[in-house]
Amino acid sequence: MDSPAADQEKGYGSSSDEGHGPAIYEQHKGLKGLYYNPITQVSMLGFVCFMGPGLFNALNGLGAGGQLDSTTNSNANTALYATFAAMAFFAGSVNNMLGPKVTLLLGSMGYCLYIGSYLAMNIHAGAGPFVVVAGAILGICAGLLWTAQGSLMMAYPTESQKGKFIAIFWSIFNLGGVVGAAVACGRNWHSTAGNVDNGTYIGFLILTLIGVAIPMAMADPNKMIRSDGTKVTTPRQLSWKTEIMGLWITLRTDPMIILLFPMFFASNWFYTWQFSEFNGALFTIRARGLNNLLYWISQIIGSVLISFLLDRKSISRRVRAYAGWTALFLMVFVVHIWGYFYQKQYTRATAHQSVDIYDKPYVGRVFFYIFCGLLDAMWQTTSYWLMGAMSNDPSKLAFFAGFYKSIQSSGGAGSWRADAVGVPYMNMFISTWVLLAADLAFALPMIVLRVKEHTELEDEAM
229-280 confidence digits (pLDDT tens): 888 866 555 566 776 787 788 888 889 999 999 999 999 899 999 998 999 8
62 versus 400: which is more confidently predicted?
400
Which residue type occupies 325? W
Give the pLDDT of residue 460: 56
Q: Which of 8-22, 217-231, 374-388 has the lowest mean pLDDT?
A: 8-22
Give the pLDDT of residue 1: 44
Interatomic CA distance for residues 388 and 161, integer angstroms? 10
* Percent of the residues in the chain that have a pLDDT greater than 70, as a whole number: 88
Tell me which range, 10-14, 33-37, 93-97, 403-407, is most confidently predicted by mean pLDDT.
Answer: 33-37
Tell me which range, 14-18, 132-136, 201-205, 410-414, is most confidently predicted by mean pLDDT.
Answer: 132-136
Interatomic CA distance for residues 314 and 166, integer angstroms? 19
Give the pLDDT of residue 58: 81
Q: What is the mean pLDDT of residues 23-41?
A: 89
Residues linked to residue 225 through DSSP beta bridges, in sequence order: 231
Residue pair 221/155 in contact (Cβ under 8 Å)? The answer is yes
pTM of the model: 0.78
Give the pLDDT of residue 195: 63
Interatomic CA distance for residues 187 and 140, integer angstroms? 31
Q: What is the mean pLDDT of residues 317-327?
A: 95
Give the pLDDT of residue 9: 34
* Percent of the residues in the chain that have a pLDDT greater than 90, as a whole number: 46
Interatomic CA distance for residues 445 and 442, integer angstroms? 7
Interatomic CA distance for residues 409 and 85, integer angstroms? 5
Which residue type occupies 396? K
Give the pLDDT of residue 170: 87
Does residue 18 have a pLDDT over 70? no
CB contact set of 162 (below 8 Å; sequence gap of 6+): 154, 310, 311, 384, 385, 388, 389
Give the pLDDT of residue 179: 84
Give the pLDDT of residue 434: 97
Q: How many CB atoms lie within 10 A of CB 237?
A: 17
